[in-house]
């Protein structure tokens, strides 16, 4: 845990890590069924008090406001031990993040305490079959009979459309859904809504099977009616709200990748020290030492960018979109390389189903895509650099 001595962290963060590390190491969860395991992890994380870091203190949280460095430490540690545990934690934060940022007092009181206790499972529903990176191409429509003032808050809405690649889809108790209230408005015509899972007209039964065992689903909205009270934030303010939410959690995606990379490095070092060949250990070969050295440098460079992005946000700097993008891009790409090299060092054992490096190889791949693919991060960084 030498990285906790870096000036990005304070004593409260170090105390958090001191409690979390032994707790995470002691957990034993059967992850054969991803949906059941994810529910189990949410309950355990809630009972352990770790989900309290996903919401502010006034609604049962551990800290006065969302703390990016705490989120980074939690995700890095959980991902080191179980990427599915990290997934369960992250989706609680991402799924409820828009409510924390823009929810009414009634919405916050109704949902956030349940999220913090692990009693309500949250989900963030933004992506669509034809609108992944291009959010403006969204086709889900929220039409409705608005109030006489035109605000929509006292009227109702009907959602029609499809969302896909939705994490926690099919097991969530509620979804933060983004839909167009002004179909001709592009990103300026998007609004956000809280839709309970049992709302008539919402079908979340289409489970998506992916290479890493994560519960994903396609959501189908067919004349799905919600009241005006379900509107989250301002009408047509949904795109900015989605981006604000992603800005908070993008650095934590980097942390999850960092945790997986640290685990792969640890597995590689352990294997190299134990594996005997040609009268010596694998670690005695200079080629092995060179690979381990490269892996260690990739891990540390990703860590520094990740911690910097979280620190900048927590210390009230200007928008950290570019810095978070640098962290997300670098940490996920570096982790892919580190895990690949760790698997190669394991030889045939590395591709055996059930080995840790084999599962990490499957787990890391999606992180280079979700919450903004690497290519999207490159564009964000490039535009920011040109504007400086």
| Residue in this structure with the two tokens 């669509």, named with its chain if needed | 128
Residue 35: is it exposed, middle or buried by C-beta count within 10 angstroms (0-12/13-18/19+)? middle
> Which run of H or E residues covers position 8?
none
Coil/strand/helix, residue 63: strand
Cβ neighbours for 169, distance < 8 A, ≥ 6 positions apart: 123, 125, 163, 204, 207, 208, 215, 216, 217, 218, 219
The catalytically annotated residue of 76, 267, 323, 371 is: 371
Residue 265: how many CA atoms within 13 Å on its side-chain side?
Answer: 24
* Angle value at C-alpha 262, between 370 and 46, nearest 5 degrees: 65
Q: Tell me if 94 sits within 8 A of 242, measured CB to CB.
A: no
DSSP 123-161: EEE--BTTBSS-GGG---EEEEE--TTS-STTSEEEEEE
Active site residue 323: no
> Which run of H or E residues covers position 68?
helix 68-81
| Residue in this structure with the two tokens 């108790």, named with its chain if needed | 173
Q: Measured between alpha carbons, how far is 328 from 314 in angstroms, rounded to an integer?
A: 17
Q: Measured between alpha carbons, how far is 96 from 115 in angstroms, rounded to an integer?
A: 8
Cβ neighbours for 75, distance < 8 A, ≥ 6 positions apart: 86, 89, 90, 252, 253, 255, 256, 259
- Active-site residue numbers? 371
């Amino acid at each position: 845990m030498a990285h906790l001595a870096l000036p990005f962290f304070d004593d409260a963060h170090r105390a958090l890590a001191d409690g979390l590390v032994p707790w995470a190491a002691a957990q034993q969860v059967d992850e054969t069924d991803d949906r059941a395991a994810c529910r189990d992890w949410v309950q355990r994380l809630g009972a352990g008090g770790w989900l309290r870091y996903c919401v502010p203190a006034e609604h049962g949280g551990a800290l006065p406001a969302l703390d990016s460095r705490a989120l980074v430490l939690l995700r890095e540690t959980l991902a080191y031990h179980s990427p599915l545990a990290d997934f369960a934690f992250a989706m609680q934060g991402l799924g409820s993040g828009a409510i924390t940022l823009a929810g009414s007092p009634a919405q916050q009181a109704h949902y956030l305490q349940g999220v913090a206790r692990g009693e309500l499972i949250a989900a963030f529903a933004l992506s669509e079959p034809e609108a992944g990176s291009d959010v403006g191409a969204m086709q889900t429509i929220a039409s409705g009979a608005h109030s006489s003032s035109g605000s929509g808050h006292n009227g109702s809405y009907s959602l029609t459309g499809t969302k896909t690649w939705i994490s926690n889809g099919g097991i969530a108790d509620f979804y933060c859904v983004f839909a167009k209230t002004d179909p001709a408005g592009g990103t300026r015509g998007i609004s956000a809504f809280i839709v309970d899972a049992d709302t008539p007209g919402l079908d979340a039964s289409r489970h998506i099977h992916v290479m890493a065992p994560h519960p994903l689903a396609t959501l189908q909205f067919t004349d799905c009616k919600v009241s005006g009270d379900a509107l989250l934030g301002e009408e047509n303010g949904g795109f900015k709200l989605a981006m604000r939410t992603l800005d908070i959690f993008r650095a934590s995606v980097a942390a999850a990748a960092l945790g997986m990379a640290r685990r792969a490095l640890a597995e590689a070092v352990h294997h190299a020290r134990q594996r005997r060949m040609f009268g010596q250990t694998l670690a005695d070969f200079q080629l092995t030492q060179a690979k381990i050295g490269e892996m260690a440098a990739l891990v540390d460079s990703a860590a520094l960018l990740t911690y910097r992005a979280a620190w900048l946000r927590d210390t009230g700097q200007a928008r950290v979109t570019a810095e978070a993008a640098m962290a997300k891009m670098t940490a996920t790409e570096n982790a892919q390389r580190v895990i690949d090299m760790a698997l190669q060092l394991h030889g045939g054992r590395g591709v055996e189903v059930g080995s840790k490096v084999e599962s990490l190889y499957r787990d890391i791949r999606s992180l280079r895509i979700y919450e903004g693919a690497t290519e999207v991060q490159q564009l964000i960084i490039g535009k920011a650099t040109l504007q400086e």
